[in-house]
Amino acid sequence: MKLEICRWPEPVLAAEAEPIEKVTPELKELIENMIETMYEGDGVGLAAPQVGESIRLICVDQTGPKERGDLMVMINPEITSCEGSVDSEEGCLSCPEFTGKVKRSEKISVKAVDPEGKEICMEAEGYLAVIIQHEVDHLNGVTIVDRSSSLKKAMYRKKASKWA
């Protein structure tokens, strides 16, 4: 079932998400719905706060939005190390009609749990590293609008107020 995507500046997008204690049937259903929502929205990543759930869960597929060949689901993801720096031009399903340049780490190490409860430890670089950092930002209550200049943020706030 496709879920409704929360739009900036909804409060859930500014809150720090809660850790997930255990994988339940309800959580697995949310994961399936998030995957469908991400793909239908032509996204390459989606965090639970973007669909109104303030929990530490992300879905990522760097081959998207068209191919859908590298799906990863991460519960309680934690970036354990970062190196390098890259400027990334980013958009966001929760910030329609907004793009911005964001400084990201070029290479990261991530620790998380998959939906089967197995620990994931991986390194990511390039585009995948950028996507994971973007989604983990959502878990920490940060959007690309928050990472933009105050002028660009004010202009977007004015535009977004017309949608409310």
Least Cα distance to 137 among 98, 79, 63, 89 occurs for 79
Give tens-digit pLDDT for 66-107. Answer: 778 889 999 999 999 999 999 999 999 999 999 999 999 999
Domain that holds residue 88: 11-161
Which pLDDT band holds residue 64 (cuts at 50, 70, 90)? Answer: confident
Amino acid at 160: A
Count the domains in the chain: 1
- CA dist., res. 95 & res. 97, Å (int): 6
Residue 4 lies in a domain: no
Residue 1 lies in a domain: no
Residue 100 lies in a domain: yes
- Judge whether residue 6 has pLDDT over 70: yes
Q: Which long-range contacts (CB under 8 A, 24 or more apart) does 49-52 make?
A: 49/6, 49/12, 49/13, 49/15, 49/17, 49/138, 49/139, 49/141, 50/5, 50/6, 50/13, 50/93, 50/94, 50/138, 51/3, 51/4, 51/5, 51/6, 52/3, 52/4, 52/6, 52/12
pLDDT at 87: 95
Give tens-digit pLDDT for 22-52. Answer: 999 999 999 999 999 999 999 999 999 999 9
pLDDT at 164: 67
What CATH number does residue 54 fall under?
3.90.45.10
123 an active-site residue?
no
For residue 102, the surrounding DSSP H or E stretch is strand 99-104
Catalytic residue selected from 26, 78, 97, 135: 135
What predicted TM-score, i.e. pTM, was given to this entire model?
0.95
Residue 93 lies in a domain: yes
Residue 6 lies in a domain: no
Beta bridge partners of 120: 112
Residue 20 lies in a domain: yes
Residue 148 lies in a domain: yes
Residue 108 lies in a domain: yes
Which pLDDT band holds residue 162 (cuts at 50, 70, 90)? Answer: confident
Give tens-digit pLDDT for 113-135. Answer: 999 999 999 999 999 999 999 99
